[in-house]
Amino acid sequence: MNFKLLVNNIQKTHNTLQQSAVKAVNRHITLRNWLIGYYIIEFEQNGVDRAKYGDKLIEKLSKKLSIKGLSYVSLTVCRLFYITYPQILQTVSEESRQNILQTVSEEFGNKILGTLPQESMMVRNTNKDKHLTTLFSKTSFSHLVELIKINDPLKRSYYELLILKTGLSVRNLRRQISSLCFERTGLSKNKKLSFEKIVKQITPKNPTDVVKDLYFFEFLDLPKIDTVDENQLETALLNHLEKFILELGNGFCFEARQKKILIGDEYFSVDMVFYHRILKCHILIDLKVDEFSHTQSSQLNTYLSYYNKEVKEKGDNAPIGILLVTDKNKALVEYATTGIDHKVFVSKYMVHLPGKRKIENFINRELKKL
């Protein structure tokens, strides 16, 4: 064995076993969430004291549980996951089933076994759900969360097939759904050719990208900061920008970097959050290492609306957003004042916030350094 072969063997062993570990964790996340959904539905239908909780069941359950990641939204997702894919238990190995049964009471175990098809139906179900076996074993739960949002079974099957054919990332899956990939294929005269063209255009995801999945980190009780995946240039700019703004003074109090916020059932990150003690409001800064687009401004306005409704306290003014956009040749700064209609306050914040020209000059200087 030469040195090059030694390096290759170690690298290959690491990659293979790392991917196996990630897939194993994802299977357990999927099974856990399916079981949680099953328990909720079972209680809703047969719980002795179900009438006592009614429509408030999941809300009260989320407050009682002390498990990281199992919020009201997450429990609702688990319930919908079970409803959408009730046959998941048919797709797992006998060993996995026995592991599941060891975690539940005998009463629940018997009921869960009762959800499996009779032996005469097993072959038919195995053929029917063969692609689901592959889907559940090879994709992250975040993929499945996107799929259960689709009400049309045929449309959902289309995106299941697309995932299996391409191994596309969750972000790419969202992009395909929002760009009406299914509908465009359906309208094409040559549907096979149209689908093959789409498959060729999709770049397969790196298997280790799954490690960045939020469900993965919550399941393993790891710090959320580990889920942040930042562009090196963006990180460098934010590091310097934080120091730059604090040095300006003017009442800025630093609160957070990459602040996670949950809107609906989706997590977003605000690049930087400050609180301004003079203006008495939050200031959200979003940095895009890209040229300006209306979607970026819209996204920042969404964050501002969230802070205005969920974070702002009595006595606070409406939050302010600063959008920083760069295409490496020029810098654009946009102040967002969603919900601020008091002229006096607007004039006041223009005095206390760093001038647009000052920020533009700062970004340009930093870009030249980098």
Is residue 289 within 8 Å of 271, Cβ to Cβ?
no
pLDDT tens-digit profile of 32-44?
898 899 889 988 8
Bridge partners, residue 276, by sequence: 252, 281
- 3-state DSSP of the chain: CCHHHHHHHHHHHHHHHHHHHHHHHHHHHHHHHHHHHHHHHHHHHHCCCHHHHHHHHHHHHHHHCCCCCCCHHHHHHHHHHHHHCHHHHHHCCHHHHHHHHHCCCHHHHHHHHHCCCCHHHHHHHHHHCHHHHHHHHHCCHHHHHHHHCCCCHHHHHHHHHHHHHHCCCHHHHHHHHHCCHHHHHHHCCCHHHHHHHHHHHCCCCCHHHHHHCHHHHHHCCCCHHHHCCCCHHHHHHHHHHHHHHHHHCCCEEEEEEEEEEEECCEEEEEEEEEEECCCCEEEEEEEECCCCCHHHHHHHHHHHHHHHHHHCCCCCCCCEEEEEEECCCCEEEEEECCCCCCHHHHHHHHHHCCCHHHHHHHHHHHHHHC
pLDDT tens-digit profile of 339-365?
555 555 656 666 667 777 777 777 777
- The structure's pTM equals 0.59
Q: At what angle do helices 141-148 and 153-166 cross, to 10 degrees?
A: 150
Tokens of 359: 């920020």
Domains in the chain: boundaries:
3-218, 230-369
Confidence of residue 67 (pLDDT cuts 50, 70, 90): confident
Residue 93: the pLDDT is 63
Arithmetic mean of pLDDT, 62-75:
85
pLDDT for 231 beyond 60? no
Arithmetic mean of pLDDT, 11-26:
81
pLDDT for 105 beyond 70? no
Confidence of residue 120 (pLDDT cuts 50, 70, 90): very low
pLDDT tens-digit profile of 161-216?
999 888 888 888 888 888 888 888 888 888 888 888 888 888 666 655 555 666 76
Could you give the CA distance from residue 330 to residue 347 in angstroms, rounded to a whole number?
27
Confidence of residue 159 (pLDDT cuts 50, 70, 90): very high
Could you give the CA distance from residue 240 to residue 252 in angstroms, rounded to a whole number?
15
pLDDT tens-digit profile of 279-335?
888 989 888 766 677 777 888 888 998 998 889 988 888 888 888 776 655 677 777
φ, ψ of residue 231 in degrees (nearest 5): -70, 140
Strand arrangement, sheet containing 281-288: 252-263, 266-276, 281-288, 320-326, 331-336
- Mean pLDDT (the chain) is 77
Distances (CA, A) of 73 to 40, 162, 217: 14, 27, 17
Residue 191: the pLDDT is 84
pLDDT for 251 beyond 60? yes
More confident residue, 161 or 266: 161
pLDDT tens-digit profile of 167-177?
888 888 888 88
Of 204, 367, 213, 201, which is closest to residue 287 (Cα–Cα)?
Answer: 367
Arithmetic mean of pLDDT, 91-115:
62
Residue 122: the pLDDT is 41
Residue 132: the pLDDT is 79
For residue 334, count other CB atoms closer than 10 A to its CB: 15
pLDDT for 224 beyond 60? no
Percent residues over pLDDT 90 in the chain = 10
- CATH fold, domain 230-369, is Trna Endonuclease; Chain: A, domain 1 (3.40.1350)
pLDDT for 28 beyond 60? yes
Confidence of residue 108 (pLDDT cuts 50, 70, 90): low
Tokens of 263: 């809107």
